[in-house]
Amino acid sequence: MTKTLVIAEKPSVAQDIVRALTPVAGKFDKHEDHFENDRYVVTSAVGHLVEIQAPEQFDVKRGKWSFAHLPVIPPFFDLKPVDKTKSRLNAVVKQAKRKDVTELINACDAGREGELIFRLIEQYAGGAKPLGKPVKRLWLQSMTPQAIRDGFGALRSEQQMAGLAHAARSRSEADWLVGINGTRAMTAFNSRDGGFFLTTVGRVQTPTLSLVVEREEKIRKFISRDYWEIHATFGAQAGEYPAKWFDPKWKKGEDVEARADRVWSAAEAQAIANAVRGKQATVTEESKPTTQASPLLFDLTSLQREANGKFGFSAKTTLALAQSLYERHKALTYPRTDSRALPEDYLPVAKQTFEMLADSGMRHLAPHALTALNNNYVRPSKRIFDNSKVSDHFAIIPTLQAPSGLSEAEQKLYDLVVRRFMAVFFPSAEYTVTTRISTVAPHSFKTEGKVLVKPGWLAIYGKEAADEVEGGKDGDKGQNLVPVKPGEMVNTLQVDPKGLKTKPPARYSEATLLGAMESAGKQIDDDELREAMQEKGLGTPATRAAIIEGLLTEKYMLREGREMIPTAKAFQLMTLLRGLEVEELCRADLTGEWEYKLSQMEKGQLSREAFMAEIAAMTERMVKKAKEYDRDTIPGDYATLESPCPNCGGVVKENYRRFACVGKPGAEPCGFSFGKSPAGRTFETAEANALLRDKKIGPLEGFRSKAGWPFTSEIVIKYDDEAHNYKLEFDFGDDKKGEESGEIVEFEDAALGACPICGSEVHEHGSNYVCSKAVPTTAQPTPSCTFKSGKIILQQPVEREQMTKLLETGKTDLLDKFVSMRTRRNFKAHLAWDKDAGKVNFEFAPSKFPPRPGAAAKTVASKASKAGAAAKKAPAKKAAAKTTAAKAPRKAAAGKAPSAALAAVIGNEPVARPEAVKKMWEYIKTHNLQDPKDKRTIVADDKLRAVFGKDSAGMFELAGILGNHLGGE
């Protein structure tokens, strides 16, 4: 019997599908990586299992950070498994290749990324030839069992999904082309003067950053101006009311800060106040009813903006919560949507949702749901139900499933969505707005009153929202007005000019940045108009959170409170791109056009070939501009430092690459300068000022070695006798110089605990914690102990209390900010005293998911039996070839056993030489064994002396030395 393979995006979705299908398709048996019954095999990916890469013949390995091999525009892309999920990929491919599996169903998330995840797995499973099995698409926008069963009853065809598949591949390839070529080209440009300055750019990431930088530039250039408002209090027979002067003839002009109620001199403001003080005023007023409709239903971006504004949730947090409410709790519909409307046939479901809410027992929500049902609020409306505004997904609304066991954050987000869903069906809020003009000729004063007549949808948000008057300001809007009789003259009781200052534009918060990405930087406040602009936005609702997080990770931006602040590195990148005239990466609206073209491709209105040709042309142009730029510096808006030159006292100015002395007025520059981005970390202007003032700064994080490894260091400015000038140096706080010179150390801090080697006191010393017998002291001039451990290990600061804990109990708490020098990923570990190795080592927390007993042995046995069976069937030559081919990689992976001397440093496990070099470097870095004067020289401690056979070795000697210690490798 033939079967259909269903591939979901995540294991939890696969389980939901099995639960939904069991009543209609029969019971499933659970296997290690899949579920199976007579009709279906259900398995899942865990996100992306395969990624694109340049084919071997076009892949640049050596010299990829130079212009020599750029641009890289391969005619096609190969696939490579994502390393950490390789076993899952193999399990999915195994099911796809089964002979009894004759059809596939793509059940990955409904959207561009879900389409790509499946398509790449299918392509990889086919290998050189296409898999050749028909594919159907399961399109789920709700995760309830009934919605899943309905989805299986309305599977989409391959032809229906072709546009989305093309757009998914094109997005992936375009990001690869722009990201790889742009990053390599800008890194090559910035590393021309030596060093390695990684400069990442991206098709969507960089234009998003440009929005933040441009806003910050406006803030920095903003010059505040003084202005005055004239506030008055008038007395009528019924009481007093406030008012504010305005010019009824004022019209908007070129001055963006001008307003009808502002005057620009204190004298003019005082003159107006003096002219009306104590006088009587005539009154005219106009009252009219106004309505305020509820906001539209949520799409992902508007939900992220609202949650950021109300609760301070980051876009990433909101997406994770919404995904959990959709996937785990089945309480919300699909969250990664850009639509704010529902399908026109969804009215019955909306009514059922209100019925569920009315009966749910959620006391804060149920009464409003009941009100809507009793008053027949749930009825057709083009504002809510509109097929033309629903693309792949509809708006985020609650499902028919009442949730339970929500976390506090999940509950907040769920309530936000439910209230918005209910509000959109409720009547508009009704106000009476009264505009009163009090005139003391020739001066006019305005008062506005806004009274809520019927709360309508505001009732759902309670008293707080009902009392809140849109646009209300101190003294001129929002108040209940005392009545004035027709023809009554009122008295000017008080009038005061109020001095104020114009304010710069606000920095982006995550909420406002998401809005700017949505409209490609165009300032659009109107909900409906912003919706029309969405197709030209930066990224998609599903990717915007990741783009913002990526900019934060790369230190292009910092998150301070709710503000997004660009760093010096961001300004330097924008200066470079503008100087090179690479507009496409600087202007959000141009990149918004690319996104629009992808959405056209999804609809079958644009060919993949045409789009990719444009991306290739953009890539070539970007690389050409960087490669051919021949001027010394890039034009830009550069700073002048406040601190003087340490050498001659002259003025220090910034240029593209350096901070350089330009001399005292009328004098020549003295030649002092220092690079803006030593080891790939760019100085903020304030840091450069502090460095000149104090001659040192730090320790600072974020530096990278030439090999790309991250490190932390202090920076100092020292006088160089040979150059007769000051120069910048890294200071790792290495205490070897003092130790080797025999200079006596006096400890001033309290002891942290007993040394695990000799029992003596352990103290702070420079950048390390050391045993008092490991350095020369008055009591013991010749060191006799070797205990030393860094205060910062792999970028993780080790606080005094943690070292005390290690000395008392043998290990620290679980620390979570280590950064692997090999993978550059963060990891968590305890620091623990390793008695056998005689040093502080990492101890990792046990996995939450231990392997099942016997699972490994079972797998090995199974593989061995299969290999044996295959060898019997195959001709002898082929079997031998297969065996040789299979053995070769295993041999390389197994490596060689290290010598006893090397094992004392890197452990006993067999390793290949490259892995041994990496482990050796981790040891060197952890123990601060690089010579401070020449980082390419490693100063041997006792263990390394046994490996090197001498007191020091050059970094380029390491591979050769280690080869002699690896079983003759």
User: What is the set of active-site residues?
Assistant: 334
Written as one letter, the residue type at 817 is K
Q: What is the 3-state secondary structure (H, E, C) of 239-308?
A: EEEEEEEECCCCCCCCCCCCCCCCECCHHHHHHHHHHHCCCEEEEEEEEEEEEECCCCCECHHHHHHHHH
Q: How far is Cα 579 from Cα 632, in angstroms, rounded to an integer? A: 12
Estimate the crossing angle of helix 510-518 against helix 205-221, to 10 degrees: 120
* Whether the Cβ atoms of residue 389 and residue 341 lie closer than 8 Å to each other: yes
* Whether the Cβ atoms of residue 508 and residue 563 lie closer than 8 Å to each other: yes
Residue in this structure with the two tokens 């209609």, named with its chain if needed: 24
3 state SS of 918: helix
Query: What DSSP string describes 369-397?
Result: HHHHHHTT-----TTTB-GGG-SSS--B-
What does residue 414 show for φ and ψ, rounded to 5 degrees? -60, -45
877: which residues sit within 8 A by CB, 6+ positions away?
Answer: none
Cis preceding-peptide flag for 699 (omega within 30 of 0): yes
Nearest Cα neighbor of 705 from 561, 861, 583, 821 is 821
In angstroms, the Cα distances linking 666 to 650, 663, 671 are 10, 8, 15
Element (H, E) at 33: none
Element (H, E) at 331: none
The three-point CA angle 271-276-281 to 5° equals: 155
Q: How far is Cα 634 from Cα 656, in angstroms, rounded to an integer? A: 6
Q: How far is Cα 216 from Cα 558, in angstroms, rounded to an integer? A: 13
3 state SS of 74: coil
DSSP-derived pairing of the beta strands 557-560 and 50-53: unpaired
Query: What DSSP string describes 829-897?
Result: EEEEEETTTTEEEEEPPPPSSPPPTTHHHHHHHHHHHHHHHHHHHS-HHHHHHHHHHHHHHHHHHH-BP
Estimate the crossing angle of helix 588-602 against helix 205-221, to 10 degrees: 150
371: which residues sit within 8 A by CB, 6+ positions away?
Answer: 377, 459
* Whether the Cβ atoms of residue 406 and residue 329 lie closer than 8 Å to each other: yes
Written as one letter, the residue type at 935 is K
Beta bridge partners of 841: 832
Q: Measured between alpha carbons, how far apart are the two ends of the chain, in Å?
A: 53
